[in-house]
Amino acid sequence: MTFTSTTRIPVSGMTKRIGALGKAREFGILVALAIVIVAATVKNPAFLFSTDGWRDLLLTPSILVLVAVGQAIVIITRNVDLSVGSVMGLSAYLTGRLFIDVPGLPIIAVVVLAVLFGGVLGLINGALVAYAKVPAMVITLGTLYAYRGINVAWAGSNRVNASDMPKDFLALGTGQILTIPILTIVALVVLAAAAWYMRNTRGGREYYAIGSDPSAAELYGLRVTRRILTAFILSGALAGLAGVFYAARYGSVSSQAGAGWELDAVGAAVIGGVAITGGVGSVWGAAIGAVLLMTINRALPILGIPDFWQRAVVGVLIIGAIVLDRVLAVRQKRRLIEARDHS
């Protein structure tokens, strides 16, 4: 039997119900975010009602939002990209070296090259997963260390400093438009574009179909290999863009830039309602999860909570999100079975 590209992607009642639950999860995360902000502001009004407080509230999560959006797309396909932190760090160092080694190179050219570089690293991940048929967790755990090793070998003990980069470029990390940081505006544009693509295009719907049931997606004639490759390329490209803004935001890049960000990205996606088993969730949820994580990191010290408990709170949120996904999935499956037996 031959399948054509016009085959429609079926949407089951379970998928619709879980989608509605996903929206409820996103609303719940927004409520949790509001509670954290209110609690921190009551303790210290400058947390929100000050120029620096408002700016940091918007600016701090922006880079993680970019990484989390790419990570969410990969997880929706029932994969995971553990290399995004290393890709981000390597792209950040590349950004600084381009300004040093190619004086006069336009800023837009540096941004494009870093994004393309991240996309190539993502392509390597995707090709190994799609063609070698090796679990993504294993592949990207390996490339996490491989890319980090390349960064360490390249940078050594050297670092890129703010004095090595143009002032106009550094202004991207601190500049504002109508009190909204430029990085936040860029993150929102990327988020909106990704959300529109995932919701309104055939390609976006295919990611969900593949994550829900890869075998069925193959039988329906979906281009599973192409979609997996594209998901990893998007994840790598967004990590590359995050690396550019990391350099602009912090003005200093070493071989350890981006270390640990892969776990924050996975945590943000999962907390935001993206099921680790694939097929469920949205990039909006992942972005909200990223904002919640970074806001918690800023708020808990103000509330007088020790460092250990700050990380513990994040861990509890991640475990709770995974358990909730499992409980909801089992409950929905039971309801569908009961409805089928009743009919």
Which domain CATH number covers 54?
Answer: 1.10.3470
Q: Is residue 7 part of a domain?
A: no
Name residue, tokens 């050219």.
109
What is the per-residue pLDDT for 304?
79
Helix (H) or strand (E) holding 121: helix 107-132
Which pTM value belongs to this model?
0.86
What is the per-residue pLDDT for 333?
64
pLDDT above 50: residue 196: yes
Instruction: Report whether 258 contacts 236 (CB < 8 A).
Output: no
For range 206-232, the mean pLDDT: 88
The alpha-helical segments, DSSP class H, found in 220-306 are 224-250, 261-271, 283-302
Q: Is residue 8 part of a domain?
A: no
Sign, CA torsion 280/282/283/287: negative
pLDDT above 50: residue 12: no
Domain count, the chain: 1
Residue 330 CA: distances (Å) to CA of 8, 195, 217, 316: 27, 27, 22, 21
Q: Is residue 173 part of a domain?
A: yes
Instruction: Report whether 300 contacts 312 (CB < 8 A).
Output: no
Q: Is residue 4 part of a domain?
A: no
pLDDT above 60: residue 15: no
Whole domain around residue 36: which residue ranges?
Answer: 13-338
Which residues 6+ apart lie within 8 Å of 317 measured at CB?
267, 271, 292, 293
What are the start-end ranges of the E strands in the chain? 176-177, 180-181
Buried-state track 129-160, b at ≥16 Cβ within 10 A, e below 16: bbeeeeebeebbeebbeebbebbbeebeeeeb
pLDDT tens, residue by residue, 27-84: 778 888 888 888 888 888 888 888 788 888 899 999 999 999 999 999 999 999 999 9
The overall average pLDDT reported for the chain is: 85
Tokens of 314: 């994040």
What is the per-residue pLDDT for 315?
78
DSSP annotation of 275? -
Rounded to whole angstroms, the Cα distance separating 120 from 141 reads: 17
Classified as helix, coil or strand, 113 is helix
Q: Is 177 exposed, middle or buried (0-12, 13-18, 19+ CB in 10 A)?
A: exposed
pLDDT above 50: residue 13: no
- For residues 119 and 22, the model is more confident at 119
Comparing CA positions, the residue from 25, 10, 2 lying closest to residue 275 is 25
Q: Is residue 322 part of a domain?
A: yes
What is the per-residue pLDDT for 113?
96
Comparing CA positions, the residue from 339, 117, 69 lying closest to residue 243 is 117
pLDDT above 70: residue 343: no
Q: Is residue 334 part of a domain?
A: yes
Angle, nearest 10°, between helix axes 62-76 and 202-212?
60
What is the per-residue pLDDT for 300?
82
Q: Is residue 343 part of a domain?
A: no
Poorest-confidence range of 99-108, 313-322, 334-343? 334-343
Cross-strand partners of 181: 176
Q: Is residue 223 part of a domain?
A: yes
Classified as helix, coil or strand, 177 is strand
